[in-house]
């Protein structure tokens, strides 16, 4: 007797890994569709996928769901968010519409530092409550795993407050959370004009404190990330921060080439980073590097969309170079308050010219690899965690074809059913 059997799906999209690796280059978009398929689940894991007749003959389940011709896909993985924050930046949105740029607003003390002021003033409980509401909406939209960065505290005490909020939410919320330390998100006001002193603080105090805090909570060292950008952290500062994190056992991520191509993507590949994210103004040489290394390229199309800009990640060039492409929301109060991976998929197809199949693989399997969980999550292969979606549509393409709504009918997280 197994826990759950889902049968008579219009199609089951397996999204297989490529010999234990993400789908790279032209292999992106391999879905392995099983028409009239079924999924057998036990102990929170996928036991088998296959034709409904076979699985119904083989297993009896405590609970059965007739998918009634609807598509079944892996749960969506959102591998880049800044989800724990307080306050909002609606006024800055209006300034940008009137012509101010994101970096101008940031240089004038707004932007990230405006959210830092709200976060420093907020209690842990307030941060947890505000983020929980966002996570609830994300789960209903089909996101079953989300990466969350710190980066709005920018001192030891407040960065640890954000990390504590992330750990509490991971323990209490059905969505799985992957933590990232982003002390190098901006230079805080008390270090204005002294970026190197702030970098020294990150390296000598913050990184050891974060790793010790994680250990005290029974957690592995979180990812470390840097906003490598003109006017924020330059390439050399980014390298020093990432190398220090690596020396403390932290896996690496980077914000690279959002506004200027400084070489951050190549640096990420050189250091063996798990992912390099944004990649809008990425130099040709860095795109080639992505095809040669293990670093996953994470495109965040909701960000140029949110900023009203026209340039997006050159996804087709990354695919042609043999890179592994993933998608994420970048959900944050400044550039992209977007909680929907479905919207990101729809936008990616239109703005970056990828196919719905490529978008699905980039938002599931490859996104799982972008947070170091590709071995456990992101596809409907036996042995993986049972995180999957039953759509309110017969075909996975509806996830990208429609936009602005919710095509997900039922979310199954670790084998537990959540109806929306």
Residues that bind ligand NIG (CB under 6 A): 82, 111-112, 115, 227, 255, 258, 303, 330, 332-335
111: partner contacted, choices ligand NIG, Fe ion, none (Cβ within 5-8 A by kind): ligand NIG
What is the Cα–Cα distance from 171 to 106, expressed in whole angstroms?
Answer: 34
What is the Cα–Cα distance from 239 to 264, expressed in whole angstroms?
Answer: 9
What is the Cα–Cα distance from 377 to 326, expressed in whole angstroms?
Answer: 14
Considering beta carbons, is residue 52 or 265 the nearer one to Fe ion? 265
Spacing of C-alpha 335 from chain mean position? 15
Give the angle subtended at the CA of 370 by the CAs of 369 and 372, to the nearest 5°.
Answer: 60
Considering beta carbons, is residue 258 or 387 the nearer one to ligand NIG? 258
- Rule CB under 5 A: is residue 225 a binding residue for Fe ion? no
Give the nearest distance from C-beta 255 to ligand NIG in angstroms.
Answer: 5
Considering beta carbons, is residue 78 or 330 the nearer one to Fe ion? 330
| Contact (CB, 8 A) for 81 and 149 | yes
Considering beta carbons, is residue 21 or 260 the nearer one to ligand NIG? 260
- Rule CB under 5 A: is residue 78 a binding residue for Fe ion? no
What is the Cα–Cα distance from 331 to 341, expressed in whole angstroms?
Answer: 10
Residues 6+ apart with CB under 8 A from 118: 85, 86, 87, 152
Q: Got the DSSP string for 375-398?
A: TTSSS--TTSB--EEEESSSSTTH
Considering beta carbons, is residue 170 or 330 the nearer one to Fe ion? 330
Give the angle subtended at the CA of 120 by the CAs of 118 and 122, to the nearest 5°.
Answer: 65
Give the nearest distance from C-beta 62 to ligand NIG in angstroms.
Answer: 43
- Rule CB under 5 A: is residue 229 a binding residue for Fe ion? no
Give the nearest distance from C-beta 276 to ligand NIG in angstroms.
Answer: 12
- Rule CB under 5 A: is residue 258 a binding residue for Fe ion? no
Give the nearest distance from C-beta 299 to Fe ion in angstroms.
Answer: 12
Give the nearest distance from C-beta 303 to ligand NIG in angstroms.
Answer: 5
| Contact (CB, 8 A) for 5 and 65 | yes
Give the nearest distance from C-beta 95 to ligand NIG in angstroms.
Answer: 13
Give the nearest distance from C-beta 369 to ligand NIG in angstroms.
Answer: 20
Considering beta carbons, is residue 59 or 85 the nearer one to ligand NIG? 85
Q: Got the DSSP string for 24-38?
A: -GGGTT---EEEEEE
CA distances from 120 to 90, 158, 274, 308 (A): 19, 6, 30, 29
Which residues in 321-340 contact Fe ion (CB under 5 A)? Answer: 330
Residues 6+ apart with CB under 8 A from 315: 299, 325, 348, 352, 353, 354
115: partner contacted, choices ligand NIG, Fe ion, none (Cβ within 5-8 A by kind): ligand NIG
- Rule CB under 5 A: is residue 358 a binding residue for Fe ion? no
Point out the residue whose Cβ comes nearest to Fe ion: 330
227: partner contacted, choices ligand NIG, Fe ion, none (Cβ within 5-8 A by kind): ligand NIG
Residue 209: CA count within 13 A, CB half-sphere = 18
Considering beta carbons, is residue 84 or 214 the nearer one to ligand NIG? 84
List residues near Fe ion by CB under 5 A. 330
């Amino acid at each position: 007797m197994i826990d759950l059997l889902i049968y008579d799906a219009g199609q089951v999209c397996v999204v297989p890994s490529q010999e234990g690796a993400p789908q790279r280059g032209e292999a992106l978009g391999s879905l392995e569709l099983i028409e009239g398929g079924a999924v057998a689940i036990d102990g929170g894991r996928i036991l088998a996928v296959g034709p409904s007749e076979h699985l119904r003959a083989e297993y009896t389940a405590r609970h059965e769901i007739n998918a009634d011709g609807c598509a079944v896909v892996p749960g969506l993985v959102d591998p880049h968010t800044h989800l724990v924050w307080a306050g909002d930046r609606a006024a800055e949105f209006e300034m940008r519409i009137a012509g101010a740029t994101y970096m101008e607003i940031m240089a004038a003390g707004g932007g990230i530092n405006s959210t830092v002021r709200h976060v420093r003033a907020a209690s842990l409980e307030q941060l947890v409550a505000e983020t929980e509401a966002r996570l609830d909406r994300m789960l209903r939209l089909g996101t079953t795993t989300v990466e969350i960065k710190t980066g709005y505290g920018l001192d030891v005490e407040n960065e640890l407050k954000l990390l504590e909020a992330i750990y509490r939410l991971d323990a209490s919320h059905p969505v799985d959370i992957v933590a990232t330390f982003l002390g190098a998100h901006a230079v805080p006001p008390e270090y204005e004009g002294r970026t190197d002193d702030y970098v020294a603080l990150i390296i000598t105090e913050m990184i050891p404190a974060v790793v010790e805090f994680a250990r005290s909570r029974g957690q592995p060292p979180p990812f470390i990330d840097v906003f490598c950008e003109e006017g924020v952290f330059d390439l050399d500062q980014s390298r020093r921060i990432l190398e220090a994190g690596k020396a403390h056992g932290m896996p690496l991520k980077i914000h690279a080439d959002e506004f200027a191509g400084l070489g951050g993507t190549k640096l990420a590949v050189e250091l063996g980073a798990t992912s390099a994210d944004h990649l809008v103004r990425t130099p040709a040489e860095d795109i080639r590097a992505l095809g040669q290394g293990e670093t996953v390229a994470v495109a965040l199309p909701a960000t140029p969309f949110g900023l009203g800009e026209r340039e997006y990640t050159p996804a087709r060039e990354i695919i042609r170079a043999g890179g592994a492409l993933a998608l994420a929301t970048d959900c944050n109060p400044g550039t992209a308050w977007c909680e929907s991976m479905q919207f990101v998929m729809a936008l990616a197809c239109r703005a970056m010219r990828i196919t719905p199949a490529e978008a699905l693989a980039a938002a599931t399997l490859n996104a799982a690899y972008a947070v170091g969980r590709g071995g456990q999550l992101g596809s409907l292969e036996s042995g993986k965690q049972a995180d999957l979606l039953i759509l309110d549509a017969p075909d996975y393409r509806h996830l990208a074809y429609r936009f602005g709504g919710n095509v997900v009918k039922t979310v199954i997280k670790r084998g537990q059913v959540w109806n929306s």
